[in-house]
Structure 1
């Protein structure tokens, strides 16, 4: 896969199977089944496997044997994050715990009353971790995303689990999502945006990332620069079988240009990728 196409991959049958096993046999069995499923993907999903191998070997400079092990671990943990997401939607979240580094920053943002913009990435599992926080810091978290999931899978998940516990702000060509973001911030709500993937043909900011040139989407950083709301970079990595480590950076409260915010973001993203390389979930050639 040379570029990201904006679509979430997955099989409707696969979702049905895992929802059934989570409901009937629990998370442990679902995790056991994942080992078989993700090993199959490791063997036959050549494009994402090769993209990860290239990233680990040529960007993080990991020897080939270690890179192969890391790819297998990556596929397995990614499967776990999907199972964890379904478990939360099904109300099977009693086993999960978390720690939050700099949680006070989000509390301070909430107390300012201007809402908050949370810039994150496809590293770890922010949605599940956000479920751990909901009601503790804020009653409402909005996620800005391309509404491009395979429709049959989305319908089945909504039917089987009641849908996401978040508000979804879908990115539209008519820019109506900007109004939705503005309204959420006026209501002192948090708005989370993944800021690491861009679509071919869209505006981008090219920056040094892990000593290579990479393109990042322009939109999230424009939004972060235009609204009068604090901006923080948040990440949530799985750090145990049923546990997550969340972190937030010191909020940006002064006016900054999109490019300045993007550079700060990339610095934090580099740190997280080095800390949790097995949770880098971008399965395409990330660089030019």
Structure 2
């Protein structure tokens, strides 16, 4: 079913309007508890947090169930959605340990690092095209641990101001390494950083306001993906790697780098077509990693537009 550009925009903009859960005081208290007690002792509290989130956010619960049904190829159970939310909560908790440098209880294994290292050895700036899959904080932690690699994240920050504020108090450098989307000079900063040999990470599965979108197949159905990341990379004619850091349980993360395009290009007169081809190839790789680690994808909204399309069905009325 082909959707109009306006429908695609409405679907992709849902995530920007989701309310933050919890208060800064509660968040600070739990982060302090994590750092005081350590990861093993603080982790059981996550089960209560995940249960509260599951019970109190029907939009997220429905989105989780629909996504899991696609990726697991079966009906998702209540236990599946709880595991999904718990995995998300775990990656948020682990950000505290990565940011504070107290991550000895966490294990990070690298796959495909030779592709990353080859571009660094040439002194070239490049893009890391990632997603809301696992934890990008893992890669930023690797950057700090290995000679302060020049990694900046191009991201929208206004939908999680409370959490970002608390994390910035924990480590002021966390926001210094962010290029906020929506700021007038953001694209100029990206250009300058790439030209200096820097690395820009983009979570390319969500769009910003007024961004061009395209429908591509994702886990068996059309879904709107942004064209902006690919148009930006093509404008700078910079290389791109895909990069995903998957949580595998027991404090273990796997970071995967894969070559994607070197460089990303889009010929005049066919820029949208080229960007669409890149978005389609990216969605295919993202789907592969979602299938490999199905509880790691954290877009808790109506990503495919199922509720809009099936508003009259009983399933869309579930709580």
TM-score, length-scaled by structure 2: 0.82
Instruction: Output the CA distance in 1 between the equivalents of 2:17 and 2:154.
Output: 13
Task: Note closer, same or farther for the CA distance 1:146–1:178 as it changes in structure 2 (3 Å cut).
Answer: same
Instruction: Output the CA distance in 1 between the equivalents of 2:164 and 2:175.
Output: 14
In the TM superposition, residue 202 of structure 1 has moved relative to its aligned partner by: 3.0
Instruction: Name the SS of the counterpart of 2:21 in structure 1.
Output: coil
**Unaligned ranges ≥5, structure 1:** none
Instruction: Name the SS of the counterpart of 1:260 in structure 2.
Output: helix
In the TM superposition, residue 130 of structure 1 has moved relative to its aligned partner by: 2.8
Most deviating of 271-280 and 93-102: 93-102
Choose the corresponding residue for 2:25, options 9, 13, 17: 13
Q: Does the 8 Å contact 2:109/2:253 carry over to 1?
A: yes
Instruction: Name the SS of the counterpart of 2:298 in structure 1.
Output: coil
Instruction: Output the CA distance in 1 between the equivalents of 2:90 and 2:172.
Output: 20
Corresponding residue of 2:283: 266
In the TM superposition, residue 39 of structure 1 has moved relative to its aligned partner by: 1.4
In the TM superposition, residue 37 of structure 1 has moved relative to its aligned partner by: 1.3
In the TM superposition, residue 154 of structure 1 has moved relative to its aligned partner by: 3.2
Task: Note closer, same or farther for the CA distance 1:104–1:8 as it changes in structure 2 (3 Å cut).
Answer: farther
Q: Does the 8 Å contact 1:4/1:199 carry over to 2?
A: no
Indicate yes or no: 2:176 matched with 1:161: no
Task: Note closer, same or farther for the CA distance 1:171–1:37 as it changes in structure 2 (3 Å cut).
Answer: same
Write 1 or 2 for the structure with the bigger share of helix.
2
Deviations 1:78-123 (A, max 9, x none): 1111111011222211222211111000001112222110100001
In the TM superposition, residue 7 of structure 1 has moved relative to its aligned partner by: 6.1
Instruction: Output the CA distance in 1 between the equivalents of 2:259 and 2:165.
Output: 38
RMSD between aligned alpha carbons?
2.2
User: How many residues are paired up?
Assistant: 285
**Unaligned ranges ≥5, structure 2:** 1-9, 267-273, 306-319
Corresponding residue of 1:277: 294
Most deviating of 159-168 and 181-190: 159-168
Q: Does the 8 Å contact 1:121/1:195 carry over to 2?
A: yes
Matches within 5 A, 1:45-84: 45-58=57-70, 60-65=72-77, 68-84=78-94
Corresponding residue of 1:127: 137
Corresponding residue of 1:33: 45
Most deviating of 56-65 and 191-200: 56-65
Instruction: Output the CA distance in 2 between the equivalents of 1:32 and 1:150.
Output: 24
Task: Note closer, same or farther for the CA distance 1:252–1:38 as it changes in structure 2 (3 Å cut).
Answer: same
Matches within 5 A, 1:82-161: 82-136=92-146, 139-161=149-171
Runs of 4+ in 1 over 4 A off after TM superposition: none
Indicate yes or no: 2:233 matched with 1:224: yes
TM-score, length-scaled by structure 1: 0.90
Matches within 5 A, 1:155-194: 155-164=165-174, 167-172=177-182, 174=184, 176-194=185-203
Instruction: Output the CA distance in 1 between the equivalents of 2:222 and 2:68.
Output: 16
Most deviating of 239-248 and 99-108: 239-248
Instruction: Name the SS of the counterpart of 2:119 in structure 1.
Output: helix
